[in-house]
Homo-oligomer: A and B are copies of this chain.
Amino acid sequence: MYYPSIKVLDCTIRDGGLVNKHDFSLEFVRRLYQLLTAAGVDYMEMGYKNSPDLFDPKDYGPWKFCDDDLLWKVRDGIESSVKFAVMADVGRVNLKAIKPASESPYQMFRVASYVKNIDKGIDLVNTFHDMGYETTLNIMAVSRDRGPELDEALDQVENECKADVLYLVDSFGHFYQEDIDQSVKRYREHVKTKKFGFHGHNNQQLAFGNTIQAIINHVDYLDCTVTGMGRGAGNCTTELLLSFLKNPKYDVRPVLDAITELFVPLRQKYEWGYIIPQMITGSLNLHPSSAIDFRKGPEKDMYRKFYEMMMNELNI
Among the 9-residue stretches A12-20, A114-122, A133-141, A252-260, the one with 4 or more Cβ atoms under 8 Å from chain B is A252-260
Give CA–CA (A216, B177) in the complex, Å. 10
Give CA–CA (A264, B295) in the complex, Å. 14
- How many A residues have CB within 8 A of the partner chain? 38
Give CA–CA (A276, B207) in the complex, Å. 17
Secondary structure at chain A's binding surface: helix, strand, loop or mixed?
Answer: helix
Indicate if the CB atoms of B205 and A208 lie closer than 8 Å: yes
Among the 9-residue stretches A60-68, A153-161, A235-243, the one with 4 or more Cβ atoms under 8 Å from chain B is A235-243
A293 within 8 A of B: no
A307 within 8 A of B: yes
A178 within 8 A of B: yes
A72 within 8 A of B: no
A184 within 8 A of B: no
Give CA–CA (A204, B244) in the complex, Å. 10
Indicate if the CB atoms of B307 and A252 lie closer than 8 Å: yes
A274 within 8 A of B: yes
Scan residues 274-316 of chain A and give those whose CB is less than 8 A from a CB of chain B.
Answer: 274, 276, 279-280, 283, 301-304, 307-308
With A212-B176, A257-B304, A276-B239: A244-B283 Cβ-Cβ less than 8 Å: yes
Indicate if the CB atoms of B259 and A209 lie closer than 8 Å: no
Indicate if the CB atoms of A216 and B178 lie closer than 8 Å: yes
Which residues of the other chain, B, contact A259 by a CB distance below 8 angstroms? Answer: 276, 301, 303
Which residues of the other chain, B, contact A178 by a CB distance below 8 angstroms? Answer: 216
Which residues of the other chain, B, contact A176 by a CB distance below 8 angstroms? Answer: 209, 212, 244
Q: Which residue of B lies closest to A212 (CB)?
A: B176
Q: What are 27 A-B contacts with C-beta separation under 8 Å? A: A176-B209, A176-B212, A177-B213, A202-B205, A204-B208, A204-B244, A205-B205, A205-B207, A205-B208, A205-B209, A205-B237, A205-B240, A209-B209, A209-B210, A244-B283, A256-B276, A256-B280, A256-B303, A256-B304, A257-B303, A259-B276, A259-B301, A260-B301, A260-B302, A260-B303, A264-B301, A274-B274
